[in-house]
Amino acid sequence: MQDSSNNTTHFGFKEIPTDEKVDAVAQVFHSVAAKYDIMNDLMSGGVHRLWKMHTINQSGVRAGNKVLDIAGGTGDLTLRFSRIVGSTGQVILADINDSMLKVGRDKLANKGVVGNVKFAQANAEALPFADNTFDCITIAFGLRNVTDKDAALRSMYRVLKPGGRLLVLEFSKPESECLSTIYDQYSFRLLPFMGKIIANDSESYRYLAESIRMHPDQETLKGMMDSAGFERTSYQNLTGGIVALHKGFKY
């Protein structure tokens, strides 16, 4: 959480000036962008693809819809959404990091995705879109990197159409102590080692592990969505709570 009393916020386990976090996170993702997809597969054993597919299935998106994929990175969700919305719909892949956007743009072009996808470099805290624009908004593994999560959720609510839904897919708190202990060992020992071997960057992956621990737990995030105005908020734990899918509607 941001500490308004001394204008600092967390960057992993560190406290840094709030106005430095965007640049600090940007450096992490500039560093990992080229190896991002490979590391995702290795880190999760490919299970991240199942988490994302479940998010797609829960989105309610159909032909002709307009979808915003925030922190869309290398475009996994955008690729699938573009096929669902078809020629009469549109998907906007938004990311604050230009390195990730470039990787996503190239990846989607290589997959033959053209016409119904646009790209936007945007900060989730102040989305550059008109009110009531999107039928569905997703943010997958990106909210924990946002400095002011409450502002971001309010911004998402603003640009969502009445009747639309937000889906937040994010690492969360394991349901059992045993799983939590195993997950900690994996996160703080194996993950930085894999980052060093595959991406030549152990520090960025140490930050990513720390950022997961600093992210609000399931109930806290649900409450934050309620406060932002979302209704019928709920969450579903995936893989024992290592990941949770939060859902909220705008009416």
Q: How far apart, in Å, are the Cα atoms of 182 and each of 128, 186, 232, 242?
A: 41, 6, 33, 11
95 is in an annotated binding site: yes
CA distances from 123 to 43, 127, 190 (A): 26, 6, 31
> In angstroms, what is the C-alpha Rg of the chain?
17
Does 9 carry a binding-site annotation?
no
> From CA 17, how far away is CA 82, in angstroms rounded?
38
Are 94 and 120 contacting, i.e. CB atoms less than 8 angstroms apart?
Answer: yes
Amino acid at 135: D
The torsion angle over the Cα atoms of residues 90, 94, 98 and 99, rounded to 10 degrees, is: -80
CA-based nearest residue to 131, from 168, 156, 167 = 156
Is 78 part of any known ligand binding site?
no
Q: Report whether 124 belongs to an annotated binding site.
A: yes
Write the CA distances from 183 to 48, 179, 200, 207, 243, integer angstroms: 15, 6, 22, 15, 12
Rounded to whole angstroms, how far apart are CA atoms 168 and 244?
A: 8
What angle do the packed helices 21-32 and 202-214 form, to 10 degrees? 130
Binding-site residue positions = 74, 95, 123-124
Bind-site residues for S-adenosyl-L-methionine: 74, 95, 123-124
